[in-house]
Amino acid sequence: MLYTVMPVEQVMSSPEWQTQDVSYSEARIKGKTVLVGYRQGSSPWVERVISTDPFDYLDERWQPGTVVAAHGLF
């Protein structure tokens, strides 16, 4: 249930150019399971880390939006 000042239709709308070709896949990077997002023409990014160690969530390499290749994770 959303509790926001933004109109729900605006929150939920998704322009076609933003959603096309976006794909997500789980990858094993540096021993961590990471959900990686990818859009054609851009570098893959960390969508989220999947870990039971809380300190992984403080590690800057696994912050959502981190560009995977730029951080030398591949």
Partner 1 sequence: MAESGDMHPEAEAIKELGANPVGGSRDIHCLTIIGQVEGHMILPPQNKTTKYEHVLPQLVAVEQDPNIKGLLLLLNTVGGDVEAGLAIAEIIASMSKPTVSVVLGGGHSIGVPIAVSADYSFIAATATMTVHPIRLSGVVVGVPQSLEYLDKMQDRVVNFVVQNSRVKYDRFRELMFRMGELARDAGTILVGKDAVKEGLIDEVGGLKDAISKLRAIIRSRDKPSVNGHKILPPAPSSPAERRFSRRRKGG
Pick 1 or 28: Cβ nearer partner 1: 1
Question: In whole angstroms, how close is the CB of 7 to partner 1 at the nearest point?
Answer: 8
Q: Is residue 34 within a helix (H) or strand (E), and if so which, with residue range?
A: strand 32-38
User: What secondary structure does DSSP assign to 21-32, as a single string?
Assistant: T-EEEEEEETTE
Pick 31 or 61: Cβ nearer partner 1: 61
Query: For the chain, how far is it from start to end, CA to CA, in angstroms?
Result: 38
Question: In whole angstroms, how close is the CB of 26 to partner 1 at the nearest point?
Answer: 14
Pick 13 or 28: Cβ nearer partner 1: 13
Q: Which residue has the tokens 């039971």?
A: 52
By CB under 8 A, name the binding residues for partner 1: 1-6, 8, 11-15, 18-19, 22, 41-43, 45, 48-49, 51, 54-60, 63-67, 69-72
Question: Residue 29 is encoded by which pair of tokens?
Answer: 């990077």
